[in-house]
């Protein structure tokens, strides 16, 4: 369930996972964008040679996208 603009957190009676809004690296110049407002995380699927899926969130929105270029600097978070 989204919690403000700082992170996305999901909790049940046994586990909790939290993804900070770390922003992402601009694919053209490498600058950090939207830190503290957006979270962009790669999926565990390697996808194709140039693109794959990712999870994103901002404000109270959460979604999955399916064709992001791998040159985008999204974060990786190990979740088991």
Domain ranges of the chain: 2-69
Per residue of the chain (80 residues), what is the pLDDT tens digit? 344 447 777 788 888 888 888 888 887 888 888 888 888 887 777 777 777 778 888 876 777 777 777 777 777 776 66
Per-residue pLDDT, 3: 43
Per-residue pLDDT, 36: 85
Residue 47 has phi, psi (to 5 degrees) of 65, -150
Per-residue pLDDT, 1: 34
Per-residue pLDDT, 80: 62
Q: Which residues contact 1 (CB under 8 A, 6 or more apart)?
A: 8, 9, 10, 11
C-alpha span between 59 and 8 (Å, rounded)? 9
């Amino acid at each position: 369930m989204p919690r403000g603009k700082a992170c996305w957190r999901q909790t049940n009676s046994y586990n909790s996972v939290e993804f900070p809004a770390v922003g992402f690296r601009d694919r053209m110049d490498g600058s950090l964008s939207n830190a503290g407002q957006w979270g962009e995380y790669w999926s565990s699927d390697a996808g194709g040679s140039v693109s794959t899926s990712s999870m994103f969130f901002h404000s109270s929105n959460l979604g999955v996208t399916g064709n992001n270029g791998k040159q985008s600097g999204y974060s990786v978070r190990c979740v088991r």
